[in-house]
Chain A
Amino acid sequence: MKSLVDTGALFPALVVGRLLLALTNASDVLKHNHQLSTPLTSYLNLQEGIYLFKNGIDPYSGGVFRQSPLFLALFTTVLPTSRIACSLIWTISDAIGAWALVQLWRARQRVAQTSRDGLIAAAYLLNPYLFLPTLALSTSTFENTLALLSLLFAARGHASPSLLAAAILLQLSLSSVVLLAPLVLLLASSPVSQLASPRAFSGNVKIIIPLLVEFLVYTSVLTLVSALVSGGWAWIPQTWGAILTLPDLTPNVGLWWYFFTEMFDHFRPFFLMVFSIHLLIYIAPVCIKFQYDYLYAAFILLGVLGTFKSYPTMADPGLFLSMIALFPEIYPYLRYPIVTTLLHLHAALLMPLFHHLWLNQGTGNANFFYASTLVFACANGAALTDCVWAGLRIAIGPPQEGFSVVQE
């Protein structure tokens, strides 16, 4: 129990620092930023939806509110809606996420405490890809926290909390269904690092079906609760449907919006299907290949999600990058970490610049910003492929004199 709260001095200091940062009015400026929040995660839309709901208008009857009815329920009853209170809530959510990451690290190492805990917490709390969306009050913070909590509970072997967190995460974001498979398989196996010694899946196969059934039960209960709160089923096409049909083409850091602005209507259903199935096709290969280390498979699939999601914010690839801290065994085998870092620096500096040039100043056009999001996707893809390579390469062993590793 002591290990649950004892995280060294760095973690509380970082949390206090983040809380102080939350008390500033940075959110007033950042909440409008398109890179930090999307129509599905924006705080402004959340406020609008809550106001409409409080005044008896169905917030799902127009295209303004695309978040889960659970938010409506929580923010109109128990949670406060003032700016400072919301900033604190979001920062506390980030703190919980950082705590979950540290506990995940400890579970993977199978120790109660390490000297590196503070660094892991810092990797989450100081990552600008993560703290800027939190300051912007984007609900992707909650998605990250729930993802980390569900992975943590799975690593500890607690099935029900893990599946409940995953079910709540599914209510917030339909794309997270991609994480279901590695999560269930992680529950059936162990989180301990097996990357260096690949073997066939050796977990408990029999509990997979009961776990899936439990997940479905939680999901249906939460869906019914959402329908109760929202007074109908109109929220489904507006929230989950929005992820599949992309009705809102507001620019974001993802790859979908530009593609679909120039798409002829005739081809739209086809390409929506292609893009959605593209997310799903990574599940099976990654889970099969990393069947000895499902935490790593979940990590890779989080990276896939961060790069190819329909409405990503910076927080989605940010989670992937912070989670690299959990796998120091792959660091010697990363082939081009400096290139990836520079690509990320390049993209992270140019994206806001080109966005401003296009939409505020009017001297650029959409192609500037889209090019910078392509660089961002390149950076994410580079990180992803490098991590996949390193995860596989570690199994071959350290480099030896006179031998070279070649991919056939």
Chain B
Amino acid sequence: MLVSFVHLLLLFSWSWRTLASHEQLVGDFFSKSTSNHTNNWAVLVCSSRYWFNYRHMANALGMYRTVKRLGIPDSNIILMLADDAACNSRNKFPGSVYANPGRGLDLYGDNIEVDYRGYEVTVENFIRVLTGRMEPSVPRSKRLLTDANSNVFVYMTGHGGNEFLKFQDNEEISAFDIADAFEQMWQKKRYNEIFFMIDTCQANTMYTKFYSPNILATGSAKLDQNSYSYENDNDLGVHIIDRYTHYVLEYMERINKTSHQTMRDLFDSYDPVKISSDPGVRADLFRRPLDEVLITDFFGGVAQVEVQESTTPFSGADGPESVPAADTRPRVAATAFTTETGVQDESWRTMRTWGGVVLLGALVGWVGSRTV
């Protein structure tokens, strides 16, 4: 009785220790970088419509392409566009949207997924997307299904002013609305960190009203300042991208999934002379120092991965015979197939199958001998 109690105590302490060491292992894994997000989402909003706002469409599509290139899948991107530029009857190159004057790169292509198009791009839908308060009938592709470990990149572009942004030429969203929406997201644990980028006239006023933690914001122009477009394309006849977004995208072209460039580098690359306006950054709500925040923490879908040596019995294509002799022990002790009891199981199994075959043969032989 005492012996069994001691055994129980030992077992308990062993399991407690292994559990604690599991926590340690998992904690180490996630503390490799200062960010502890596990998934990335992007909400890209172009709030203008009509042909002459071609550049806002190109802004949003350029961001969309960058974000996809760096690894966020379509299922994690909410793209809100009026989507009336590519197939506009005034588009001399139908089915395409270009963002540089030489028309080198078609941003529209045949592989984009617009979640809210045309008249669905409204203030109400934008706030519903952020807060997640939707009709049950809204499909999954239109929902922002973030959780407490999601990093969300929110990009907005269009015509704006002092603490407002114009939506589709008939309504507007104010900085207070967005701030309240973000607070709702914080209360409902719908984000880990938010990176808010906005490219409109007087853009920096839009992020002045945020009050929720873990939000990093940047805008293209300060109060009483306009944001300007980059260049006109002579064949299309409209301005095709805005300066701020153009220079940001130009910077992003140098980033790939494995870059260690930080937000500090991005913000340092801002050149108010080239952009023709004063971009701003708001980092007081953000808990991490900017030189530790990777660009891919928000723009990319990079996840923490650790590749282990194969430790399951399926390591060889031919079965157990080709399991390498130098089989590394599993990093975390609680794996289903431990190698110690594997050999015992296998020999028991061989005995069972041979026993079965022998019994079957004996039965057939006995019946045969009885007959003949």
Which residues in A have some Cβ–Cβ distance to B below 8 Å? 51, 53-56, 69-70, 72-74, 76-78, 158, 160-161, 164, 218, 221-222, 225-226, 228-229, 231
Contact with A along B306-326 (1 / 0, CB 8 A): 000000011000011000000
B30 within 8 A of A: no
Nearest B residue to A157, CB-CB: B371
A70 touches B360 (CB 8 A): yes
In the assembly, what is the distance between CA of A129 and CA of B360, in Å? Answer: 30
Q: Which residues of B sit under 8 angstroms from A161, Cβ to Cβ? A: 367-368, 371
B356 touches A54 (CB 8 A): no
Q: Which residues of A sit under 8 angstroms from B356, Cβ to Cβ? A: 69-70, 73, 225-226, 228-229
B345 touches A56 (CB 8 A): yes
Q: Please name 12 pairs of A and B residues whose Cβ atoms are closer than 8 Å in the assembled complex, sorted by A.
A: A55-B319, A56-B342, A56-B346, A70-B356, A74-B357, A74-B360, A78-B357, A160-B370, A160-B371, A222-B363, A225-B363, A228-B355
Q: Which residues of A sit under 8 angstroms from B367, Cβ to Cβ? A: 160-161, 164
B359 within 8 A of A: yes
| Nearest CB on B from A230, distance (A) | 8
Q: Which residues of B sit under 8 angstroms from A56, Cβ to Cβ? A: 313, 320, 337, 342, 345-346, 349
In the assembly, what is the distance between CA of A157 and CA of B354, in Å? Answer: 32
Nearest A residue to B360, CB-CB: A225
B313 touches A55 (CB 8 A): yes
In the assembly, what is the distance between CA of A164 and CA of B314, in Å? Answer: 38
In the assembly, what is the distance between CA of A146 and CA of B79, in Å? Answer: 64
Q: Which residues of B sit under 8 angstroms from A74, Cβ to Cβ? A: 357, 360
B364 within 8 A of A: yes
B313 touches A229 (CB 8 A): no
Q: Which residues of A sit under 8 angstroms from B320, Cβ to Cβ? A: 54-56
| Nearest CB on A from B98, distance (A) | 36
In the assembly, what is the distance between CA of A310 and CA of B370, in Å? Answer: 36
In the assembly, what is the distance between CA of A221 and CA of B356, in Å? Answer: 10
B349 touches A228 (CB 8 A): no
B352 touches A55 (CB 8 A): no
In the assembly, what is the distance between CA of A231 and CA of B350, in Å? Answer: 11
Nearest B residue to A74, CB-CB: B357
**CB-based closest 8 A-B pairs:** A229-B356, A73-B356, A160-B367, A73-B353, A164-B367, A77-B357, A225-B356, A158-B371
In the assembly, what is the distance between CA of A161 and CA of B313, in Å? Answer: 41
In the assembly, what is the distance between CA of A53 and CA of B345, in Å? Answer: 11
Interface residue tally for chain B (C-beta within 8 Å):
23
Q: Which residues of B sit under 8 angstroms from A231, Cβ to Cβ? A: 349, 352
Q: Which residues of A sit under 8 angstroms from B345, Cβ to Cβ? A: 56
B364 touches A229 (CB 8 A): no
Q: Which residues of B sit under 8 angstroms from A228, Cβ to Cβ? A: 352, 355-356, 359
Nearest B residue to A226, CB-CB: B356
A73 touches B357 (CB 8 A): yes
Chain B residues numbered 154-211 whose CB sits less than 8 Å from any CB in chain A: none
In the assembly, what is the distance between CA of A59 and CA of B363, in Å? Answer: 25
A221 touches B313 (CB 8 A): no
B337 touches A73 (CB 8 A): no
Nearest B residue to A153, CB-CB: B371
In the assembly, what is the distance between CA of A59 and CA of B69, in Å? Answer: 41
In the assembly, what is the distance between CA of A277 and CA of B356, in Å? Answer: 33
Contact with A along B4-47 (1 / 0, CB 8 A): 00000000000000000000000000000000000000000000
B353 touches A77 (CB 8 A): yes
In the assembly, what is the distance between CA of A24 and CA of B371, in Å? Answer: 39
Interface centre among B319, B345, B352 (most CB of A within 10 A): B352
In the assembly, what is the distance between CA of A164 and CA of B369, in Å? Answer: 13
Q: Which residues of B sit under 8 angstroms from A226, Cβ to Cβ? A: 356
Q: Which residues of B sit under 8 angstroms from A54, Cβ to Cβ? A: 319-320
In the assembly, what is the distance between CA of A202 and CA of B361, in Å? Answer: 36
Q: Which residues of A sit under 8 angstroms from B346, Cβ to Cβ? A: 56
Nearest A residue to B366, CB-CB: A160
In the assembly, what is the distance between CA of A381 and CA of B313, in Å? Answer: 50
Q: Which residues of A sit under 8 angstroms from B354, Cβ to Cβ? A: 77
Nearest B residue to A54, CB-CB: B319
B314 touches A55 (CB 8 A): yes
B353 touches A218 (CB 8 A): no
**A76 touches which of B353, B355, B363 (Cβ 8 Å):** B353
| Nearest CB on B from A254, distance (A) | 30
| Nearest CB on A from B8, distance (A) | 29
In the assembly, what is the distance between CA of A161 and CA of B372, in Å? Answer: 10
A229 touches B371 (CB 8 A): no
A164 touches B364 (CB 8 A): yes
Interface centre among B320, B346, B371 (most CB of A within 10 A): B371
In the assembly, what is the distance between CA of A334 and CA of B364, in Å? Answer: 40
| Nearest CB on B from A320, distance (A) | 27
In the assembly, what is the distance between CA of A54 and CA of B367, in Å? Answer: 30
Chain B residues numbered 261-318 whose CB sits less than 8 Å from any CB in chain A: 313-314
Nearest A residue to B314, CB-CB: A55
